[in-house]
Every structure is written in structure tokens, then in C-alpha cells.
Structure 1
């Protein structure tokens, strides 16, 4: 059995009525509502038929409200003002509780997913949504509140975004699983790595600034094509392959802190390479961030600073 109040008027007629009564003009009401004048007129006639009385006097020079129309107009305006206030309050409360983060699949799965339980324990009332994309350029800035992406220092910030480095400085290291080393034996030096071990090589948008050739050059060693290699265009798959003992990969030390601390990965060689890019918080310009965004931003930067200070 329906509980709908059958005495309610057709609700889609109320906004046209309010606009016509306020302007005392079908033409101006139609312009405001982006409707045709005839559509507005039909809505008013439908409402008058439902109420069984006229709401407007039609004159040669225009229209005016009938006494019933005056009372109804005041009632509708009051109800619409209350609805507007309540809707604004609900939107405000919703914005305070909602947080949409954008990041790459790798950062989301390896780093962010391990951090969020701690943040959610501190702020259990917040609703968190994560969008995964390989690049902020693939997303509209209106789709998220904060982004977490690596960005080359020498490049300008993506349009419409303000960048804040998450870590003070980042180092690129080579890593593998303990199981890999137990099977293949220790790696003596970079040349031994090239000749006797499998290099995991990424062939995606990181390929021009996270490469084995750059790492070898940075640590003062000669590079040539490795004897054994596994190549993929997915950095996420590359890191999963490293964890599963398939070979040796390059990665950002800060991003892999939890994997190193838990023993799922370990340093394959002690050498480091300064990263050309850094993990950045990307915040859309010209938007007043709600409390949920401010809380997460402050918490993340404090967490990252402490984690980098203490190390794995």
C-alpha cells in the first residue's frame, strides 16, 4: 500500500509557479527556468486545475496574483527557502564527511591502502573514495579532492593543480624478495646483477626517468642489456613480480617502506639514485577544501615526514 500523500499538488509545477509569481511574467519565468513560455503556461494551468481555482488574473497588459495565488505564493516561497537551507546544510555535512582521493594503481595498492586503516581509525566518520589512474592528466580536477602522483621536478604542475611534495627527498633503490636471493644467491655488485640475475623492467610512462640505465650511471657502473629480463608496461605488475620472487626491480625507497619493513622486499644492492621525480599531493586550485580534505592532507604530510625520519 502506498503512503504517498494524494493531496499534494504536482510538485514539478511548483517551481514554475514560484518563478511566474515572483516575476509576474511568463516570459521572464521561462527564461529563468530555461523553458519555453508555452511549457511554463501549461504547468501553471495544470496546477490551477489540480487546486480547482485560478492563481492568476490574466489581463491585456499582464498578469497579477489572485488572493488565493498570493497566499499560495507565500507558502511556496517559505517551503522553498526551508528546502534550500536544509539542502545546503546536507551538502555541507556531506562535504565534511566525504573524501575522494586519486592516485595510480601502484601507489594505491602498495602504499596508500596500507596507510588508510590508521587514518580511518582516527576519523571513522569520514567516507573515503579512491579513483585509480596512471596520470592526473587522465582525470578532470573536479572528480577528486586530492591526488597522489609522481611528478618530474623540472616539469610545470598539471593545469589547475597545486603540488606539495609528500617526502622531502626521494631515492631510487633496487629491490627483490628474500626468496629470490635465497634461490639465486647474493648479488655481489652491479655487473654481477646484469650478468647473473633477472632485471624487472617497466615500459610505461616511467620509462624515461626510472630506468636501469640511469641507475647504473648514477652509481658509477657501466650498463648494457641484461642477460635476463622480464618486461612489462605495468609498474604495479612489476612490483608484484618482485614481491613474488621473479627478479630485481627499481623502486622509490619511500614508497616501499612498508614492504621493506615487513620483509616482503629487501635491498638487492646498497647503492641509491636520487629520484628525478617526487610523490606529490595534488590539490585543485580555487577550491575551498572541506574539513575532510584538510584533515587528510595534514595527517598524510605528518605521517610521511615521520616515516622518512625514522626509516624502515
Structure 2
């Protein structure tokens, strides 16, 4: 038990403080270069635009903490968004709660495919999720009546533009905390509590830190893994509804292409690809940094084609910093 306790204790470090300082430096530099100022309105806009990423980042973090990897979550999100909106268009439009229910259930079903292959058959997580990502997305493209869904239910626009708190700025225009943002923040808080204060959270950290020590402590590794991969699918389904509400149409290619963005943000947030290390706060800060960089490129007129270069660079630098810190520890 002492070995298990020490493995879990090693997860806590100053990564979040470092990322917070990095965000402040980025804001100052971007403000000086682009001659724009960041305010509460900017923060709310960032939360809204990154809401789907934040929810997918929770799932990616859970998998990484357990020592696994999942690259199929974006394909699951693409499938659940398309199927959910197509169904609602065919059955009177529905509402946001029905959309969450359908997308979440479909996500669990698709995530269960990964869960069975990885937790029960002990197949490599990377190979399995690469394969299922192609299978899920390919099946969608083959059977979808149209490439995109521009017709969407009425609730999508209302949920995407709705705000739970609203303010007025100096110019008279309104801004506030959107439904999309509060959904993401609520899930971040819930999972931060789960990882810190529940047996499930300790089990996830323990498996990633030392699988043998976790097994000796009586933790069911296959059950924990099965839950994680199913829940990644669920979170991908929820994120797909937020993304659809944000852009007001369904484009499978739009959300399927965010895989590396989310993984890079989570790794930047301090999650280890070897497992056992990472936090919800760190992942949130990682996503925030990624969006700050992307938004600044837009403000500076840099072509969007550079996004992939930036994401790849962030991923390499993040892994390098993580390895250096691990060596120092």
C-alpha cells in the first residue's frame, strides 16, 4: 500500500502554476503585438469557443492517467453529432436534453467497442483506437445521405447563443457566460472532484502510476479501463452537441480533425503519456493556451494553415518539458 500511495502522491507538481504564468506572459505579448486588450468578455468568449475541446480533454486526460491513449474520440464525436441531428430533423426537432441523451448513449456504445478490445482482450490501446477511429468515421461517410447537415433543429441556435449571465460593455453590446461555457465548466469541476476525492479517481491514478501496485492493492484494472473508455465515448457525444451548437451546422470533418489539438493541450497541461500524472486544472490551462495562440494568429493575419504547425510544435515542446521535469524529479 505504501508503494501505491507514493505512486499517487508523485502526481502533484507545480505544472499548473507554470502554465498560469505562461498564460499571463502570452496575454501581455499578444496585447502588445496586436494592440488588443483582454477582458472578462474575452475570457467568456474563450470559454465558449473552447467548450467542446474542454469536454473532450477530460476524456483524453482520464485515458492518459490510466496509462492508455485514445485517438478515436473525435470520430465518435463526428458520428454522434451527425446521427443525433439527423434523427432529430426526421422526428420534429426535439430539444437539447434529447440531443444530449442520444449523443451520450451513442458515445457510450462506440466507446464500449474500444473498452472491450482493450480491457478484456488486452489489445494495444493506440492500435485499437486508430482502427476504430477509421472504422467509425468511414462507416459514417459511407452511409450518410449528405456530407454536411446545414438544416438543424431550432434549439441549436438558442442553446448556442444563450447565456446564463449577461453584461453590457462600454459600446452597448452584450456579452456573458454562455450555456456552452457553463456546461464545460460544470463538467470540469465535477471531474476535478472525482479525481481528487473519490475511489475511482485514486484507482485511475494508481493504474497509470504502477499497474502492478494497483493490482496488489485489489484494484480491478479491467473494470476501471472499461469504464474509462466507455466514458470517453460519452464525453465525446456531449462535446459533439456543444460543437454543433457553436457552429450551427454539422460538419463531420470539422470535429473529426481536432484529435491532435486536444491531445496536445492535455499533454501541455502536464499529463504524461506514460500515465499516472495530470490534472483537470492543467488540462483546462493547456486548452486555454492553445486557443490563445490560435486566436492571436487570426488577429495577426497568419493563415490558418499554420495551425497544424503550431499544434505539432506545442506537442513536441510539451513532451520535452514533461520528460525534462521527470528526469529532474
TM-score (norm 2): 0.25
Higher relative contact order (CA 8 A, sep 6+): 2
More helix by share: 2
